[in-house]
Amino acid sequence: MLFSATAFILKVEVLTEKDLVADFLTQTHGVVRAVVHGARGRSKRAAALQLLTQVRVTWFQREGAELASLREIEITKSTFVLSTRTETALLIPYFCESFLEFLPPAEPAEKAYRLLDHVLEALLKESVAASLAARYLEVWLLRLSGLFPEVTRCAVCREPLDTLANRFDTEASSFVHGRCATGPGLTVSGEASRILASLLRLPLPSLDPAEDVVLNEVEMVAREIRRRFLGHELKSYAFLLTLHEKSIP
């Protein structure tokens, strides 16, 4: 059966001397994995297979087959400029791996597609800091996967969370008041709680800038949820941490 859709390139691997395999994200069919014949080398197809490039694709897939066959591909929006900026270049593989880990193959993924499109558009326009965009994508991808908990009320007493400081219960994966916490957890400042609520309520360009120390708290919560669900850390994220540690004097 023949399908057509707009997609984002998430992964490209070598298959043979001339062919590649590409994973791409569509709204209607989720993540599709397809052979791209004759794409190795300096071909038009190779140019369209850069990570996070938005493309129009047509592919053929037999019912029950794991691999499709790409018939046509055309660039609709280039994100190449993101790979030339220090603050966004290393986020590209991290974003790609995140979607590949959390999205089941061949299932509709309209909300996930719109999330990625929204974040990339904000980064291309440089309307938000890269760190804020990364936290937005992390939190929303976890929320769409049913993993990110409620951020406005204590999971124990159901009262609104405090404005000064709260706890993230790592065992229960929930936000609680300090007085309601019983197990191990992370301290979450009132400002971090406010940012989290805003991330889930407002579009990315409407968010106020946040200090790095606050975004670090948000990142730690998202990292804890992700690690506990996957049972391991994303390779691209571990690489980001290594580079960050090396950059600290």
pLDDT bin (cut points 50, 70, 90) of residue 42 is low
3-state secondary structure of 167: strand
b/e code 179-203 from CB counts within 10 Å (16+ = b): ebbeeebbebbebbbbbbeebeeee
Q: How many helices (H) and strands (E) does the chain have?
A: 8, 8
pLDDT tens track for 121-144: 999 999 899 999 999 999 999 999
Instruction: Tell me the percentage of the chain whose pLDDT exceeds 90.
Output: 81
Token pair listed for 216: 């670090």
pLDDT at 249: 38
Q: Which residues contact 181 (CB under 8 A, 6 or more apart)?
A: 167, 169
Structural domains of the chain sorted by starting position, each given as residue range(s) with its CATH number in brackets? 2-84 (2.40.50.140), 127-247 (1.20.1440.120)
pTM, 2 dp? 0.93
Give Cα separations from 164 to 180, 184, 186 (angstroms): 15, 19, 14
Least confident of 30-44, 89-103, 183-197: 30-44
Alpha helices in 1-90 (DSSP H): 44-47, 86-89
SS3 160: strand
The yes-or-no verdict on residue 225 having pLDDT over 60 is: yes
**Residue 194: C-alpha distances to residues 208, 242, 249 (Å):** 11, 29, 31
8 A C-beta contact, residue 22 and residue 16: no
| In the predicted structure, residue 246 carries a pLDDT above the cut 70 | no
Q: Are 3 and 17 in contact (CB under 8 A)?
A: no
**Which residues face 69 on adjacent strands?**
35, 60
Structure tokens at 67: 């691999």
pLDDT of residue 30: 94
Q: What H or E segment, with its residue span, contains residue 108? A: none
Going 16 to 19 to 20 to 21, the CA torsion angle's sign is: negative
- The whole-angstrom distance between residue 41's C-alpha and the CA centroid of its chain comes to 29
CA dist., res. 94 & res. 242, Å (int): 13
